[in-house]
Structure 1
Amino acid sequence: MSGCPIDHGQGGNAAPGHHDAQLDFSADMSYGDYLHLDEVLGAQHPLSPGHDEMLFIVQHQTSELWMKLMLHELHAAIALIAGDQLQAAFKMLARVSKIMEQLVHAWDVLGTMTPPEYSAIRPYLAKSSGFQSWQYRCIEFSLGNKNAAMLKPHAHAPERLAQVDAAYRAPSLYDEALRLLARRGLPVPADAIERDWTQPYAASAGVEAAWLQVYRDPATHWDLYQLGEELTDLEDAFRLWRFRHLTTVERVIGFKRGTGGTNGVGYLRKMLDVVLFPEIWALRTDL
């Protein structure tokens, strides 16, 4: 049966004791009302005659929903770290890593689309591209991968541009982590915590030395040690997400240019070289 939610009620053979289940929701908020399912399930509008366009639309729409939740959790975690409330932040960062796992598996589904199937719908996409996702750009900026050029794809939509620009100008997750280390008395160089937040973060030997103090004495710095490992988990998951994006694109379109004007696989390969929390990775060699 199409469109059936997870259990959520009685089948034809109701179990004993369930005879009083409410079946009439005409006067109350229903499941569909609460989730606004008419709007959500009515938001798929294929433009091509191709059967596979529905897969393409649903995969990207669900990914945007997961990214909405990721930003919700990331913003809260950054604020909590800034307020020295690490335990609550850890739960949120762990959730962000799990969301990224869901996004990795979403590429598995899109990977079932073959090159001829994608070629049949590609002309109908015009210049639209995931490269233009404002939520993804906010995630990149919140994780520290700052690049002023990435504001331009949103210049035509002032409200969205304002949101992306705010993420661009704000301290990143790693910036707030380093400020926390400094507040705890660790020797974080001043230029790592008093800087232009719009600039990409550059690895620092002084910052690595501060993290090494944490990792060499976890018992004394347990919550900071745990923070370092939460950041490691998050970047590990993010790398997998990027890698599966790359391999799916190469599998479906090869080395064609992307619909948004990027050089496709080449651009995605370059993104694999970006390291968000460099000292967290480098210190492992020095321990």
Structure 2
Amino acid sequence: MSAPDRPAPDRSGAARPGAPDRDAPEQAYTDFTRSLSYGDYLQLDTLKSAHRPVTDAHDEHLFIAVHHVSEVWLDLIIRELRAAMDQLALGITDAPLKGLTRVVRAQEQLTNAWEVLKTMTPADYLSFRSAFGQASGFQSASYRMVEFLLGNRHAVLARPHEHRPDLHGPLTDALHGPSVYDLTLRLLDARGLNVPAEVLNRDPSQPPQLNEAVLNAWITVYRQPDTYWDLYELAEKLLDVEDNFRRWRFNHLTTVERTIGFKSGSGGTSGAGYLRRALETVLFPELWEVRTRL
């Protein structure tokens, strides 16, 4: 008896003669003239139409695919960060952990993407590098938004988007708004942990600097986790985010070094040298220093 004709078992496990086999592929929907198919729902034709190599080089396909996928993950990270920040602004500490955990998992996918790109040799890359001119990941508005939301801020980083008000406007708003860490410090102060006014009211467009009073507040949290469990857990989750942020940057650096060495980047930076300096960025300084002071 062929698989499609095999009777489906009843609850006892015995097959009922004449009953259709519910496990057969013929039971799947196949007529989508009046309903959404998988491809329709995901707009796959539109998605794939954006994949347009400008040369015949084999590895340009890989290069574009990795960057397309990375941009999708970055947009998800932005969405989850904003949702978590909205909750933190309302004084909620537990619900944001779910969104931040999702951020961490998405960051892992971003970091793993470099492993695929590392299969491209220097000769492979040079076969199409000149074709995209000054285009560079330095100009990724989504990556820059992630940086701004996490607190790594320099006004010059928004300049490549001045020609696009739809991109530059939101970046400027994020540059001058509170970061996820700023919102966390407001929660510490609301809980009576005495964050100084100069920290709470600082210019958010500047990167954070280690503050002894803030550090002492975190020392209290880390020495009394039972009392401040929600803040303790939030701090550790933020550290997960920064840890993965550093890993992404490190993998970016090593990918660039093994592909083009210390040639200048296509976007005008020094390339590997610029990326190496970026590794020194610290987003949440007190959360790292607290380990030394405990």
TM-score, with length taken from structure 2: 0.92
Which of 229, 232, 248 aligns to 2:236? It is 229
Counterpart check, 1:140 vs 2:147: yes
Which of 134, 145, 149 aligns to 1:127? It is 134
Residue correspondence of structure 1 range 25-174 to structure 2 within 5 A: 25-174=32-181
Residue-by-residue CA offset, 1:51-80 (whole Å, 9 max, x unaligned): 110000000000000000000000111111
Deviation for aligned residue 1:20: 3.2
User: 5+ residue gaps in structure 1?
Assistant: 1-11
Q: In the alignment, which residue of structure 2 is the partner of 1:4?
A: none
Residue-by-residue CA offset, 1:30-67 (whole Å, 9 max, x unaligned): 11111111101121100011011000000000000000
Residue-by-residue CA offset, 1:157-180 (whole Å, 9 max, x unaligned): 111111211111110010000011
Deviation for aligned residue 1:13: 6.2
Q: In the alignment, which residue of structure 1 is the partner of 2:197?
A: 190
RCO comparison, higher one (Cα < 8 Å, 6+): 1
Residue correspondence of structure 1 range 194-233 to structure 2 within 5 A: 194-233=201-240
Q: In the alignment, which residue of structure 1 is the partner of 2:12?
A: none
Percent pairwise identity: 49
Residue-by-residue CA offset, 1:120-176 (whole Å, 9 max, x unaligned): 110101110000000111111100011011111111111111121111111001000
Q: Quick one: distance in 1 between partners of 2:119 and 2:169?
A: 36
Q: Quick one: distance in 2 between partners of 1:21 and 1:243?
A: 45
Q: Quick one: distance in 2 between partners of 1:279 and 1:202?
A: 9
Deviation for aligned residue 1:21: 2.4
Change (3 A) 1:13 1:80: farther
Letter in 1 for 2:279: L
Paired residues, what number?
A: 276
Which of 241, 248, 252 aligns to 1:241? It is 248
SS at match of 1:84: coil
Q: Quick one: distance in 1 between partners of 2:92 and 2:73?
A: 25
Larger Rg: 2
- Give the superposed CA RMSD: 1.3
Q: In the alignment, which residue of structure 2 is the partner of 1:250?
A: 257
Deviation for aligned residue 1:190: 1.2
SS at match of 1:80: helix
Letter in 2 for 1:150: L
Which of 164, 176, 188 aligns to 1:181? It is 188
Q: In the alignment, which residue of structure 2 is the partner of 1:5?
A: none
Deviates more, 1:12-21 or 1:76-85: 12-21
The question of whether the paired residues in 1 share the 8 Å contact of 2:208 and 2:285 is answered with: no
Q: Quick one: distance in 2 between partners of 1:80 and 1:220?
A: 21
